[in-house]
Amino acid sequence: MSSSSTHERTRTGMSKTALKQDFLDNLFYIQGRFREVATPHDLYMAAAFTTRDRLLKRWVNSAQVFKTSHARTVCYLSAEYLLGPHLACNLVNLGITDTARQAGAELGLNFDAIVEEEEEPGLGNGGLGRLAACFMESLSTCQVPAIGYGIRYEFGIFDQAIEDGWQVEKTDNWLRNGNPWEIPRPKICFPVGYGGHTESYRDEHGQMRLRWQPAFMINGMAYDTPILGYGTENVNLLRLWKAEASESFNFQAFNTGDYYGAVYSKIEAETISKVLYPNDEPEIGKELRLKQQYFFVSCSMQDMIRLHLNTVGPLESFAEKFVVQLNDTHPALAVVELMRLLLDDHGLNWEQAWDITRHTFCYTNHTLLPEALETWSVALFERLLPRHLDLIYEINRRFLDEVRMRFLGDEARVWRMSLIAEGGERRVRMANLAVVGSQAVNGVAELHSALVKATLFKDFAELWPERFHNVTNGVTPRRFMVVANPRLSRLITQTCGHDAWIRDLERLRELETHQDDAGLHADWRAVKLAAKQDLATWMQQATGIHLDPASLFDVQAKRFHEYKRQHLNILHIIRCYQRIKQGESQNLVPRAFIFGGKAAPGYFMAKLMIKLINAVAEVVNNDPQVNGWMRVAFLPNFNVKNGQRLYPAADLSEQISLAGKEASGTGNMKFSMNGALTIGTLDGANVEIREAVGAENFFLFGLTAEAALQQQLTGYRPWEYYQSDIELKSDIDLINSGLFSHGDTQLFRPLTDNLVNHDPFMVLADYRAYLECQQTVSAAYQDPERWTRMSLLNVARIGRFSSDRAIREYAEHIWKVTPNPIEAA
């Protein structure tokens, strides 16, 4: 029997016939349904299992090869993974999208409707979590052995509804209908302790040692999701931990007759992985959050040690087998946990343990905003993790000795660099811990990395200059081009004559040779128009708002935050409105202003910005005098799935943060890849995108990071802008007039007062430059040939922003790992 017919029997055949047969089998044996009575969800589950069967074959094979070859492995530690729907991406990466579509058609099924049925795992807030998901996909595509570790939150990021213009949060019960992509591993389970005290004892060699006696224990159980790469046999592993009560603990309670207490302790244990904290940047310092962090870090480090002992052997070589990347400081406790495991459980001495630890970890910083830097009160630490606090003190003592030796007499420096912030409530500085415990520290865009060295970690960069790196972020073109925008992908493949660009995104540059091809221009515009029609249809049913696909789609989609300046965008909208009302529509083009994004539930100002957008939308969309010129729409519940509808349809991408505040941004890359032009400041990765696509193909405005800082140092007075710019004054006054709030003149006061009196993100300083830049956007849009050429060149030159490139840079400069291609089994 040939091997391909063997595969037919083992549920891994790639032919249309095999897919059809296995789909019906899965529908019957897993969902217990036949074709005629199957619900859309049954059909989705059958399709998911049919795809998963094909993944598993490759996964088992990869795992076996990595195990026997002792492959050096990257462990990515992240509290968030914003995965997005799996099915469409897995089909693309398996190379069977077309086959599956045909198989579906022959069974009389609507392929797109089945794909649409998937509820996405939203286990992240925004950029940081989505980056982790892109990196997992690119690690597999680049054939780097990797394990992603994180938390299997039962409730991910809330679903956003808009009621009366306000954001309302609904719980995200994503596991309700089952998750076909994960495999529970009940035997991969580790105990995690909390509380209690440290005690000393004499070990078998008569040595005095310390150990931790926790007050209570819970278990972490592994759930594995295979992550396939594009066009490779490599499959990596995403291992997420679920918190469970430890059995032995419950029995104790049962024996004392405390049945209620036993059940309650089970519930209490399970709360640890119950819900994702919905705050993006500002930290809130909740005890449960610290418990979550320690929980997943402890399980992950125990798992790595188990794997090492099972394969390689002695722990001395741990840092050769594993390199651990810390995705921001959320998992920084891993540094201390590894020390504890090596010292207390495995009997190493301090020098050995510290040497291993220091060579294991690398740390990525994702923000400079001071309010986002994690610190934990020493008192809380002491109560929850007493042994870890002891270890932090000892790490700090040795580290500060090193600082004193290097910088004799500079006690102010010692004070700044200490892992413990003194003066006021004593707090543990997680960022300092991450830097001290890592061999490499990186920022996420060139400007950000430069600022990290010059400001946040200035003292550390002086002590250890060789430790600091830049790796500019990237995004995966498989999800954000091939899956999100099949029309554009087909056109590119047709034009270039190959689809090698999907794995080698720099090859998009071949489009440049066609930049003046009139036929291509027409096709390019048709592709964009079709995407805009799709979005308009979707928006109509989701919000009832009508968008004209012929208008310029001007999109800002990202978390709501004052530093991202959605209110600057609103001021421009209000200016357009007033100009049209005053009969000055000469230089305008019809625009659809589209917003998407969630606000942290406790972030009042961000929620007020959402309300203001919806309030302005209500007035604008119901005013026939301006309707031919403008519409405003808020796309509810911006998540990965809705993002995939938005990126292909955008003409203009709004990247308008105050320079120096957005570490990188990744939406900027996703829009650009789909042919949107950017209006943006010199912030984060915008700087590099502009360099790549050419300054003439990018709408730049605003203060530089340096100028912004300078102006704030010498005293920034927003009210002077308010008083001297009559259009600005009239826009703000219009908000306060109550026009957008049914006569309520107070509703938006917190926002307008803040702008006029404080304006921490310099909206008023950049207002005039932004308006002028928007004029040049309108002028460019009026020349379709020119606009199309600019759009095409954006796509042609965006190759550098593939997450494959980012992963290759990490692999070479930070992790020192080489690809490990897996042969077909």
Q: Residue 353 is encoded by which pair of tokens? A: 């343990």
Query: Residue 582 burial (CB < 10 Å; 0-12/13-18/19+)?
Result: exposed
Report if residue 226 touches ligand Z2T, rule: CB under 6 A: no
Query: How far is Cα 522 from Cα 508, in angstroms, rounded to an integer?
Result: 19
**Reduced 3-state DSSP string for 232-266:** CCCEEEEEEEEEEECHHHHHHHHHCCCHHHHHHHH
Q: Which position's Cβ is nearest ligand Z2T? A: 127
Q: Which run of H or E residues covers position 210? A: strand 208-213
Q: Give CA torsion, residues 638, 640, 646, 652, to 10 deg.
A: 90
Dihedral-angle region of residue 475 (phi above 0 means left; psi in -120 to 50 means alpha; beta otherwise): beta
Nearer to ligand Z2T, 328 or 766 (CB): 328
**Cβ-Cβ contacts under 8 Å for 287 (sequence gap 6 or more):** 380, 384
Angle at 244 between CA 240 and CA 246, to 5 degrees: 130
Q: List Cβ neighbours of 288 (8 Å cut-off, separation of 6 or more).
A: 271, 272
Stretch that binds ligand Z2T, among 201-209, 530-538, 663-671, 741-749 (CB under 6 A): 663-671
- Rounded CA-CA distance 586/580 in Å is 9
Structural element, H or E, at residue 790: helix 784-796
CB nearer to ligand Z2T: give 90 or 293: 293
If one asks whether residue 450 binds ligand Z2T (CB under 6 A), the answer comes out as no
What is the C-alpha to C-alpha distance for residues 198 and 651, in angstroms, rounded to an integer? 60
**CA-angle at 632, arms to 626 and 633, nearest 5°:** 150
- Minimum distance, C-beta of residue 81 to ligand Z2T, in the bound complex (Å): 12
Task: Work out how close the CB of 125 gets to ligand Z2T at its nearest, in angstroms, rounded to a whole number.
Answer: 4
CB atoms within 10 A of CB 217: 16
Question: What is the smallest separation between the CB atom of 374 and ligand Z2T, expressed in angstroms?
Answer: 8
- Binding track over 251-290 against ligand Z2T, x by CB under 6 A: -----------------------------xx---------
- Residue 658 contacts residue 678 (beta carbons within 8 Å): no
Tell me how far, at minimum, the Cβ of 131 lies from ligand Z2T, in Å.
4
Interface with ligand Z2T (CB under 6 A), residue from 666, 678, 736, 802: 666
Strands of 685-734 (E only): list them: 699-700
| Binder of ligand Z2T out of 119, 154, 303, 662 (CB under 6 A) | 662
Of the listed pieces 400-408, 659-667, 733-741, 802-810, which binds ligand Z2T according to CB under 6 A?
659-667
Q: For ligand Z2T, which residue of 85, 121, 636, 665 counts as binding (CB under 6 A)?
A: 665
Cβ count near 710 (within 10 Å): 12
- The verdict on 663 binding ligand Z2T (CB under 6 A) reads yes
- The minimum distance between CB 663 and ligand Z2T, in angstroms, equals 4
The residue (of 444 and 807) whose beta carbon lies closer to ligand Z2T is 444
Q: Are 334 and 360 in contact (CB under 8 A)?
A: no
Catalytic residue numbers? 366, 558-559, 564, 666, 670
Total residues in contact with ligand Z2T, by rule CB under 6 A: 19
Tell me which of 556, 664, 674, 802 binds ligand Z2T, using CB under 6 A.
664
Judged by beta carbon, residue 366 or residue 565, the one nearer ligand Z2T is: 366
The two structure tokens encoding residue 150: 């994180």
Least distance between ligand Z2T and beta carbon 805 (Å): 15
Stretch that binds ligand Z2T, among 93-101, 240-248, 658-666, 759-767 (CB under 6 A): 658-666
Among 137, 154, 224, 328, binds ligand Z2T (CB under 6 A): 328
Closer to ligand Z2T by Cβ: residue 581 or 813: 813
Can you read off the two tokens belonging to residue 321? 């087998």
- List 138, 396, 473, 639, residue binding ligand Z2T (CB under 6 A): 473
Give me the residues paired with residue 327 across strands: 364
**Crossing angle of the two packed helices 604-621 and 749-757, in degrees rounded to 10:** 110
Of 273, 357, 367, 644, the one binding ligand Z2T (CB under 6 A) is: 367
For ligand Z2T, the closer CB: 188 or 709: 709
Q: Going residue by residue from 93 to 132, which x/- string records binding to ligand Z2T, judged by CB under 6 A?
A: --------------------------------xxxx--x-
Binding footprint of ligand Z2T on the chain (CB under 6 A): 125-128, 131, 280-281, 328, 366-367, 372, 444, 473, 662-666, 684
